[in-house]
Structure 1
Amino acid sequence: MLFHSSIRKELARSFGATLVVLITVVMTMTLIRTLGEAGRGVFNPSDVMIIMGYIVLSQLPIILALCLFIAVLSVLTRMFRDSEMVIWFGSGRGLTSLIRPLFRFAWPILIVIGALAFLILPWAEGRIADMKDRFDKRGDIARMEPGQFQESATGDRVFFIEKDASTTQAGSNVFIATQKDNKETVTSARSGQLKELYGEKFLVLENGQRLEKVAGKPELTVASFSTYGVQVDAPDPSARSFVASGAKGTMELVADPNKAHLAELSWRAGLALAAINFVLIGLAAAGVNPRVGRAANLGFAFGAFIVYFNLLILGKSWIETSQVHFGVYLLALHGGALALALLWLAKRHNNWVFQLPGRARRKPCAAKVAP
């Protein structure tokens, strides 16, 4: 039908424009947050753009659901405002007859949201966790930054070095503080150079001194040296010892349905179910009211979206702490939202008028005529 085709084309234009705007906003916010985390040593600064791409990819199901909701609500509201819906209603078609063209437009987006939620999201979370873990397990050589105090991979040693501008294998004013086996050692030297001895990496110090103190004893040992070698830790090639539930595959979660896995499944399933409900809520809420302006429906869209997804986050924590059962939560939240949307849609389709019980109706009084 020509009317259905025009609705789908307008929905596509609105969806595309909204998607570009939201992707730009999310990428900007993600870039700022990722740069801050890289400055604190959580990520490798050279991997900022890759990490940002993974984070945006993991947030894409939420972005697509919001874009779909805004597109449905804005297009139908525009049709009410321009009296196009009057023509549609005058042809004998009701509001519920728009469900079919809306879902004909939305079904590819809903499939993409489901694929992102169940397949791509855990993959992106796993890549982010791998990059964090790999950066955290880097060797002492990679950790050394000129003019900065850096902690070793094992956490028992602190380095400070001023690298020579002419080479990356040598530096000056080296400081090393070590605490191991109830022994505290402070080593300082005028210069240092990285060398490979006996198949291991060593930091060879020249012209310095070494202070050693045993815990619980007042004695302090001071020794000067012309050459002293300190072995540096190599990168840890081992895999991650802990894998968060968000980085596990969907089939792995289903195979082991513990509390944490069920909580993560409720989040992934909730992303797909919420997108379906948003199509019906957008249809039921579409309309125009000259008294509140054009931005009222957009404000409602953002408000309903925030409330819905906050309930998704709360439900995830409730399931993980055994405050609510997995099936009960899905039925209560998503089934309740679906029932509310269908009831709202039926009310508008059939022009039902609900009145408070016991409310008295005022009867018009006949005007008295003077004799």
Structure 2
Amino acid sequence: MNAVSASAPPRRRFPQALTHPLRSGWAVLDRMITFEVLQTMLAVLGVLVLIIVSKRFLRILARAIEGDVSGEAIFLLLGLKTATAAIHLLPSAVFLAVLITLGRMYRDYEMPVLAAAGAGLARLYRAVLVSVLPMTLLAGVLALLVLPWTEQQTRRLYEIEGRTADIRGIKEGKFAESSDGSTVFYVEEYKDRERMHNIFVQSREHGRQGIVSSDAGYLKNTEKGEQFIILQKGTRYDGNPGTAAFVVTEFDEYGVKISGKVKDDEKVTEQSAKSSSELIVSSLPRDIAEYQKRLAIPLGVLMLSLLAVPLSRLAPRAGVYGNLFAAFFIYIAYENIQRVMQGLVIGAKVPHWLGYSGVYLLMALVTCLLLVRALGHRWVMQVMRGWVGR
């Protein structure tokens, strides 16, 4: 008994945690991959969001310089744009995080050690799913609930800024034209952005030109969000230049409506601002395509992570950058196919169920082909023969 026990190799805790996951609870491999994937994902997501948001920030800043957006709204819009970009970029960030984490483990020869400890490809998938499944659920909540809310707030903020753009353009002693070009304002004094003095307004309505002048005025907001300049003790002249047909009207109070508008490149589409509960009961092709676009975020997190496992296996002479280049082209193809299928769904050229299911069936096929390439076709044939022989 003593000789047998002395010659037996000592047990190591690391392989035991890998080969007996139920006994060890959250195994060492699960913790290691989860923490590394999470850290890498946050770093990649931060870089991607910074690149995308910096471009959008410059666009918002240009609108603020033109007077289309107030200074107070810049950081609100920036925050909303950042949240929207982070949600849309989550699948790509998780994909790269899993690929980089597993690629590093292959490059540092950690995978052969894990394989010797009994951690095969199935065990590796289990460790990846431990970290990816919570991210998939989180991505689903963000895509279906938070994303439409950010789009609604962005649309509402742009509408408010569009209505108030003409008011912000009014300066003391300067002529200001409305955003639609129909009205010209001139205010000699504009104290504390409240009271106006010596006001001149020229507008054109129903083919007739009108000129209004008054001694004083102030801004008024209605319950519907409309804005008016209320002119006090003034005169209005209506008619056509070059003719004597003018109507002169004196008034104690006269309201001039300020009608701003949002520029086309700032508008949020109607479908993107709808709630997911509205989209799921709608039969409109655009609503269906928008709902499928939101579902693509959590599904993309899951499917791209499954694809990254066989893609991360390094050939003897291959480097990690070769896999990153392959992942880049695969992701670009995935995004382009998604957009093509979305256009086909909007045009009612394919059945609705095929809109995105076809994309993920194709991804599953690519994943299977990579697994066959990684495991070898002989091993796959042996497994299939074993199933057929049962």
Normalized against structure 1, the TM-score is what? 0.77
Letter in 2 for 1:202: I
CA distance, structure 2, for counterparts of residue 337 and residue 131 of structure 1: 38
Indicate the residue corresponding to 2:145 in structure 1.
Answer: 119
In 2, the alpha carbon distance for the partners of 1:107 and 1:148 equals 59
Q: 1:167 to 1:312 in 2, by over 3 A?
A: same
Q: Unaligned regions of 5+ residues in structure 1, if any? A: 237-241, 355-371
Partner Cα distance (1:328, 1:17) in 2:
34
Match of 2:204 among 179, 200, 216: 179
Query: Given the superposition, is the C-alpha separation of residues 224 and 74 from structure 1 closer, same or farther in structure 2, using an over 3 Å criterion?
Result: same
Q: 2:157 & 2:58 partners in 1: Cα distance?
A: 18
Map 1:23-42 to 2 at 5 A.
Answer: 23-40=49-66
Query: Which residue is equivalent to 2:177?
Result: 150
Counterparts of 1:196 and 1:73 in 2: how far apart (Å)? 58
> Residue 217 of structure 2 aligns with which residue?
194
The answer to whether the aligner puts 1:279 opposite 2:302 as a matched pair is: no
Q: 2:270 aligns with which of 228, 241, 244?
A: 244
**Is the Cα–Cα contact under 8 Å of residues 35 and 48 in structure 1 kept in the other structure?**
yes
Shift of 1:145: 4.4
Q: What's 2:24 paired with?
A: none
* 1:290 shift after superposition: 7.3
Of 185, 195, 208, which residue of structure 2 is paired with 1:160?
185
Which residue identity does 1:233 align to in structure 2?
K
Q: 1:235, 1:178 → 2: CA distance?
A: 12
- Between the aligned partners of 1:113 and 1:334, the Cα distance in structure 2 is 17
Question: Structure 2: how far apart are the matches of 1:195 and 1:97?
Answer: 72
CA distance in structure 1 between the aligned counterparts of 2:299 and 2:110, rounded to whole angstroms: 30
Tell me the secondary structure at the aligned position of residue 217 of structure 2.
strand
Give me the identity figure in percent. Answer: 20
Q: From the superposition, tell whether residues 73 and 196 of structure 1 become closer, same or farther in structure 2 (CA, over 3 Å).
A: closer
CA contact (8 A) 2:49 2:85 kept: no
How many residues are aligned here? 339
What's the TM-score, normalizing by structure 2? 0.74
**Cα distance, 1:333 vs. partner?**
0.7
Alignment CA distance shift 1:171-1:336 (3 Å):
same
In structure 2, C-alpha distance between the alignment counterparts of 1:229 and 1:140, rounded to whole Å: 21
Partner of 1:364: none
Residues 261-340 of structure 1: pairs in structure 2 closer than 5 A:
261-288=287-314, 293-340=319-366
* CA distance in 2: counterparts of 1:64 and 1:205, whole angstroms: 59
Alignment of 1:233 onto 2:260: no
Distance 1:196 1:12 in 2: 52
Name the counterpart of 2:384. none
Contact kept, 8 Å, 1:123 with 1:247, in 2: the verdict is yes
SS of the aligned residue for 1:233 comes to strand
Distance 1:306 1:118, change over 3 A: same
CA distance in 2, matches of 1:105, 1:84: 19
Deviations 1:257-300 (A, max 9, x none): 21111111110111221111110111121133576644333333
- Spell out, residue by residue over 1:143-195, the C-alpha distance to the aligned partner (whole angstroms, 9 max, x if none): 6345463327xx584123255375532356x55331112212345x6x85315
Residue equivalent to 2:107: 81
Amino acid at match of 1:183: R
Partner residue, 2:74: 48
1:148 and 1:100, CA in 2 relative to 1: closer, same or farther beyond 3 A?
A: farther
Residues in 2 aligned to 1:144 and 1:9: alpha-carbon distance in whole angstroms: 55
- Decide whether aligned partners of structure 1 residues 347 and 230 sit closer, same or farther in structure 2, where only a CA change above 3 A counts: same
Residue 327 of structure 1, CA deviation: 0.7
CA separation of 1:253 and 1:166: change in aligned 2, threshold 3 A: closer
Q: Which runs of 5+ in 2 are unaligned?
A: 1-16, 18-27, 223-227, 261-267, 381-390
| More helix by percentage | 2
Amino acid at match of 2:202: A
Deviation at 1:35, TM superposition (A): 2.0
CA offset at residue 255 of structure 1? 1.6
Alignment check: 8 A CA contact 1:201 1:231 kept: yes
Alpha-carbon offset, residue 351 of structure 1? 5.7
Deviation at 1:99, TM superposition (A): 0.7
The whole-number CA distance in structure 2 between the counterparts of 1:133 and 1:196 is 18
1:203 aligns with: 231
**Alpha-carbon spacing, 1:260–1:25, altered in 2? closer, same or farther (3 Å):** same
Distance 1:334-1:42 versus aligned 2 partners, 3 A rule = farther
